[in-house]
């Protein structure tokens, strides 16, 4: 299989956890992307310090202010990314930003259901809409007609926590808002894959494993998967080869429990 070769990638929630791990992974590639757009909702804040340090050493990292629960912020980010790309398209959009609220079913609230759904499901929907013109441009500008990450792709970070058939960790955390948001994200990914196929854009939902990040640790048990292991390349199926994740959620199933 050919090595993944992309000119541009955008990762949301890139200042810590899996998002930052992905940025680091792209930097380590034999041929790193010319543009790594790192979406971050508070670029000047303490939590963005590591990303800022990385960007100061790597001019191909462009930090983009991006709050995925805010349509105006998404629109501004798309315009900024478009300006940087100067006429070329965006190869990969990774909808990674996400939140979890660890409520029990009986204690779940309208506020938490809404906030988690807005961030984890509506965010990726609006991101897909806003960046569609740039993704289309990348697909049109690439040779060949198949679907691949080297051409144009939307990668949604889902979770086995949203799986209806293999729902594990219920005893540790019920978290209905999170589970529902990820189940809905899986359906959104299916809708995107059906709608955007004709534009040459691959759309998939991935489960990254139960990973050692702030979110992964919030369950109170040590997560089994290291950040490096999660973001390192894996041979996955269904046309999504060389996506930098070990586990593919849709349409095949994954193997470990997780948030």
Which residues of this chain interact with ligand NDP, rule CB under 6 A?
A: 12-13, 15-19, 41-42, 47, 66-69, 96-99, 119, 157, 159, 207-208, 210-211, 213-216, 223, 258-259
State in angstroms the smallest separation of the CB of 247 from ligand NDP.
9
CA-derived radius of gyration, the chain: 17
Tell me how crowded residue 246 is: count the other CB atoms within 10 A of its CB: 22
State in angstroms the smallest separation of the CB of 208 from ligand NDP.
5
d(CA 174, CA 134): 38
Cβ proximity to ligand NDP, 12 vs 192, nearer residue = 12
Cβ proximity to ligand NDP, 142 vs 212, nearer residue = 212
State in angstroms the smallest separation of the CB of 134 from ligand NDP.
19
Cβ-based neighbours of 101, under 8 Å, separated by 6 or more: 112, 115, 116, 175, 177, 178
Q: What is the largest CA-CA distance in the chain?
A: 53
Cβ proximity to ligand NDP, 139 vs 183, nearer residue = 183
Beta strands in 35-187 (DSSP E): 35-40, 61-65, 92-95, 153-157
d(CA 257, CA 218): 14
State in angstroms the smallest separation of the CB of 70 from ligand NDP.
8
State in angstroms the smallest separation of the CB of 121 from ligand NDP.
10
Cβ proximity to ligand NDP, 137 vs 179, nearer residue = 179
Cβ proximity to ligand NDP, 103 vs 142, nearer residue = 103
Taking alpha carbons only, the member of 5, 1, 9, 4 closest to residue 135 is: 9
State in angstroms the smallest separation of the CB of 200 from ligand NDP.
25
Cβ proximity to ligand NDP, 200 vs 259, nearer residue = 259
Cβ-based neighbours of 140, under 8 Å, separated by 6 or more: 89, 200
Cβ atoms of residues 135 and 199 within 8 Å: yes
Tokens 């956890």 — which residue? Answer: 17
């Amino acid at each position: 299989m050919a090595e993944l070769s992309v000119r541009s990638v955008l990762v949301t929630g890139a200042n810590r956890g899996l998002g930052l791990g992905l940025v680091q992974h792209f930097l380590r590639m034999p041929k790193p992307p010319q543009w790594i757009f790192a979406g971050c909702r508070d670029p000047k804040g303490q939590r963005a310090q590591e990303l800022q340090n990385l960007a100061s050493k790597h001019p191909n990292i462009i930090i983009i202010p991006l709050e995925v629960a805010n349509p105006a912020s998404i629109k501004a980010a798309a315009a900024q990314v478009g300006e940087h790309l100067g006429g070329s398209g965006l190869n990969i959009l990774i909808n990674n930003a996400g939140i979890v609220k660890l409520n029990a079913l009986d204690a779940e609230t309208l506020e938490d259901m809404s906030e988690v759904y807005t961030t984890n499901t509506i965010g990726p929907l609006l991101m897909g809409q806003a960046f569609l013109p740039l993704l289309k441009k990348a697909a049109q500008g690439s040779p060949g007609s198949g679907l691949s990450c080297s051409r144009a792709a939307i990668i949604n970070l889902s979770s086995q926590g949203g799986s209806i058939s293999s729902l594990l960790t219920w005893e540790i955390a019920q978290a209905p808002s999170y589970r529902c948001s990820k189940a809905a994200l899986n359906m959104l990914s299916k809708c995107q894959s059906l709608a955007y196929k004709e534009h040459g854009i691959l759309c998939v939902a991935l489960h990254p494993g139960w990973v050692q990040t702030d979110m992964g640790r919030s369950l109170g048990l040590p997560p089994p998967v290291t950040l490096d292991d999660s973001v390192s390349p894996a041979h996955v199926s269904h046309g999504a080869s060389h996506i930098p994740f070990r586990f593919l959620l849709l349409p095949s199933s994954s193997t470990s429990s997780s948030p």
